């Protein structure tokens, strides 16, 4: 076993002490001046060289893979580096001029020395120092390829690499200042091979342990960030009392309940996300950092070496949808996006107390599905009649256009946008926005204004089909690997997985479907009252939900100063039709009273009162 690596007298190159030499044995060695020096082992590896009395400029290198790793804390590494620097006459500087490369939360197995944030900058400026000092070998590299690159760099720039604690506990000094001597590079490659083998062994042990824990009901692997909505807790004694499990996180559950409540009350996912950001609620990615008393935000996206750094991670519609669709809310263990299953094919639970039941999970999923329809086409949120107004010639939607004059919007109008869809409309229609907005508002309130609004709660019940289809797809993907196993053990493991999925499919096929329920309650308010309270987006949602449609025909030439009602057809197809028909006599009377008279059929009319007066009436 090599206790330390020493430098040959007069050459500055690596040598190893004779195996039988005692530490107390005295040796006589010629100094560069010809005098004789008697030393006691262990001795300075630089003794006998021109660098023995020269102060070397060093860089103290510190690295941690995990910020919470106390056994290899930065303070311990600095202490070891300072100790060996004192022995070898190495100076790291002081104060603001200290030479130090500190890389925290950086894995040596995944990130090469030249790609690390701090060390990479020092390696790019070799003229500023003579020596790089680490605590141990694994603080610098974990692979032979990385060590080869580092040794090649040190040889090219004639640098020394020092490790305060090498194999057996002694320091290691690799001196590349003599490019003709390959000894240092050879020994570094030998030690790098050992480091790589050790790294792979650690990876294999951790991977095996994690795979075993995944199969244990209620057992959480510990360490790392748990799924949003949960936090680790000691395993209860009734379940063995060993390791960790997951329990609901009260703070996160409160946020999840708020999100679900607002969505069920009719808020859009975008509005919910905006409200959470305004209130300063931590997003799922920042939530755990707050729990662990760490800084929020971090690196995200970008190519290698060009990450974007954010101070905080905000709530977005995508974050909310992804969180609410994650089966971890059911308490399921997930691995690589798929449920972890037992021998019977049932999902393995990570907690005794899931945040949601299957019914609640399916209900919110159905709501998100309904909200996602056509959402991508809502590009102009200022248009009251978006998704309501259509061109009579081609049947396509019309969109709001806002001409400007001197920087101000002038007479916005709706226009047929068939060319944007790649279609050709024979008679594309245009119409002034203020005319049709007022007309639709008045017609809608005339027909349903007195009708009472209702609050509808959709309860999807339980339908095994979604999970059944997902499990069948998982089974089909698994079947594609049939016959590819080379060993008996792999084939047996493949068959166990296939049997488990088959059992789960059979269980779901036998499960009874619970019919959905629809609970309708009257609010005591009318559509006219609700309309008066809503903003443009809210009124547009009322029109769309009621099935209102306005078809517009192309106008005729003339200096029209008001709406020609012969150009438009107002229709409503939805659940409000029966109520509207029942109130037809009442609404007709209200219309006559409001307008003062009935217009002649097919005539060009102008509303006698603005729509806001109709609401007040």
User: To the nearest whole percent, how much of the chain has pLDDT over 70?
Assistant: 72
pLDDT surpasses 60 at 34: no
Burial of 554 (0-12, 13-18, 19+ CB in 10 A): middle
Q: How far apart, in whole angstroms, are the C-alpha atoms of residue 331 and residue 347?
A: 9
Give the residue-averaged pLDDT of 309-329.
Answer: 89
Q: How far apart, in whole angstroms, are the C-alpha atoms of residue 600 and residue 603?
A: 6
Burial of 585 (0-12, 13-18, 19+ CB in 10 A): exposed
pLDDT surpasses 70 at 589: no
CATH code for 217-373?
Answer: 3.90.1750.20
Q: Do domains 6-199 and 217-373 have the same CATH topology?
A: no
pLDDT surpasses 50 at 6: no
Instruction: Dump pLDDT digits (tens) for 467-512.
Output: 888 889 888 888 888 888 888 888 888 888 888 888 889 888 888 8
- CB 332, CB 345: distance < 8 Å: no
- Position 89 scores a pLDDT of 92
pLDDT surpasses 80 at 49: no
CA distances from 313 to 183, 250, 263, 289, 349 (A): 50, 21, 22, 11, 29
3-state SS of 161-185?
A: EEEEECHHHCCEEEECCCCCCCHHH
Q: Which two tokens stand for residue 385?
A: 């009649």
Give the residue-averaged pLDDT of 209-231.
Answer: 79
pLDDT surpasses 90 at 260: yes
Instruction: Dump pLDDT digits (tens) for 353-393.
Output: 999 988 889 889 888 887 764 444 444 467 899 989 999 99
Going by C-alpha positions, the residue among 535, 532, 530, 271 that lies closest to residue 383 is 535
- CB 58, CB 68: distance < 8 Å: no
Helix (H, G, I), strand (E, B) or coil at 231: strand
Q: Using alpha carbons only, what angle is made at residue 337 by residues 475 and 248, rounded to the nearest 5 degrees?
A: 120
DSSP 553: P
Q: Residue 367, Cα to own-chain centre: how many angstroms?
A: 22
CATH code for 6-199?
Answer: 3.40.50.1390
- CB 155, CB 175: distance < 8 Å: no
- With left for phi above 0 and alpha for psi between -120 and 50, is residue 124 left, alpha or beta? alpha
> What is the domain partition of the chain in residue ranges?
6-199, 217-373, 379-457+520-616, 464-512
- Position 442 scores a pLDDT of 95
DSSP 598: P
272 versus 35: which is more confidently predicted? 272
- Position 24 scores a pLDDT of 38
DSSP 552: E
Which pTM was predicted? 0.44
């Amino acid at each position: 076993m090599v206790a330390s690596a020493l430098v040959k007298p007069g050459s500055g190159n690596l040598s190893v002490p004779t195996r039988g030499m005692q530490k107390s044995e005295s040796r006589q060695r010629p100094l560069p001046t010809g005098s004789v020096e008697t030393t006691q082992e262990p001795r300075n590896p630089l003794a006998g060289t021109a660098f023995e009395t020269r102060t070397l400029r060093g860089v103290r290198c510190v690295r941690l893979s995990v910020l919470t790793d106390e056994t290899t804390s930065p303070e311990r590494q600095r202490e070891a580096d300072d100790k060996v620097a004192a022995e070898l006459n190495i100076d790291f500087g002081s104060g603001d001029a200290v030479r130090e490369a500190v890389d925290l939360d950086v894995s040596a197995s995944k990130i090469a020395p030249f790609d690390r944030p701090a060390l990479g900058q020092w390696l790019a400026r070799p003229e500023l120092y003579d020596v790089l000092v680490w605590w141990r070998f694994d603080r610098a590299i974990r692979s032979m390829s990385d060590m080869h690159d580092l040794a090649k760099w040190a040889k090219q720039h004639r640098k020394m690499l020092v490790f305060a604690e090498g194999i057996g506990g002694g320091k290691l000094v690799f001196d590349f200042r003599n490019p003709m001597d390959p000894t240092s590079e050879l020994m570094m490659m030998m030690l790098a091979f050992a480091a790589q083998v050790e790294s792979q062994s650690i990876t294999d042990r951790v991977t095996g342990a994690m795979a075993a824990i995944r199969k244990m009901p209620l057992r959480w692997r510990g360490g790392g960030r748990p799924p949003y909505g949960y936090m680790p807790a000691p395993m209860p004694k009734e379940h063995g009392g060993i390791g960790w499990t997951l329990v609901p996180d009260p703070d996160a559950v409160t946020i999840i309940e708020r999100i679900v409540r607002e969505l069920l009350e009719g808020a859009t996912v975008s509005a919910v996300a905006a409200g959470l950001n305004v209130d300063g609620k931590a997003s799922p990615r920042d939530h755990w950092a707050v729990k662990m008393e760490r800084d929020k935000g971090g690196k995200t996206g970008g190519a290698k070496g060009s990450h974007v750094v954010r101070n905080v991670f905000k709530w977005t519609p995508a974050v909310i949808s992804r969180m609410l669709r994650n089966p971890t809310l059911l308490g399921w263990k997930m691995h690589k996006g798929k449920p972890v299953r037992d021998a019977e094919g049932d999902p393995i639970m990570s907690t005794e107390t899931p945040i949601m039941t299957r019914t609640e999970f399916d209900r919110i999923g159905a709501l998100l599905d309904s909200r996602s329809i056509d959402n991508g086409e809502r590009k102009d949120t200022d248009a009251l009649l978006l998704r309501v107004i259509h061109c009579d010639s081609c049947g396509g939607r019309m969109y709001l256009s806002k001409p400007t004059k001197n920087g101000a919007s002038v007479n916005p109008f709706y226009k047929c946008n068939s060319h944007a869809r790649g279609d050709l409309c024979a008679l594309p229609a245009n119409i002034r926005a203020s005319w049709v907005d007022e007309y639709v508002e008045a017609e809608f309130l005339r027909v349903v204004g007195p009708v009472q609004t209702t609050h509808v709660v959709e309860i999807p019940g339980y339908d095994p089909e979604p999970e059944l289809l997902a499990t069948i797809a998982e089974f089909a993907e698994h079947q594609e690997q049939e016959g590819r196993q080379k060993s008996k053990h792999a084939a047996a493991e493949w068959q166990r997985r296939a049997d488990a999925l088959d059992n789960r499919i059979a269980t779901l096929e036998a499960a009874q479907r619970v019919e959905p329920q629809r609970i309708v309650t009257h609010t005591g308010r009318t559509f006219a009252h609700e309309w008066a309270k809503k903003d443009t987006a809210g009124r547009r949602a009322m029109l769309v939900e009621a099935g209102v449609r306005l078809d517009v025909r192309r106008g005729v030439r003339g200096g029209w100063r008001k709406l020609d009602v012969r150009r438009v057809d107002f229709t409503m197809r939805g659940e409000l039709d029966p109520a509207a028909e029942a109130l037809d006599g009442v609404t007709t009377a209200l219309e006559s009273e409001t307008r003062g008279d009935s217009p002649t059929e097919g005539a060009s009319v102008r509303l006698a009162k603005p729509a806001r007066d109709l609401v007040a009436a």
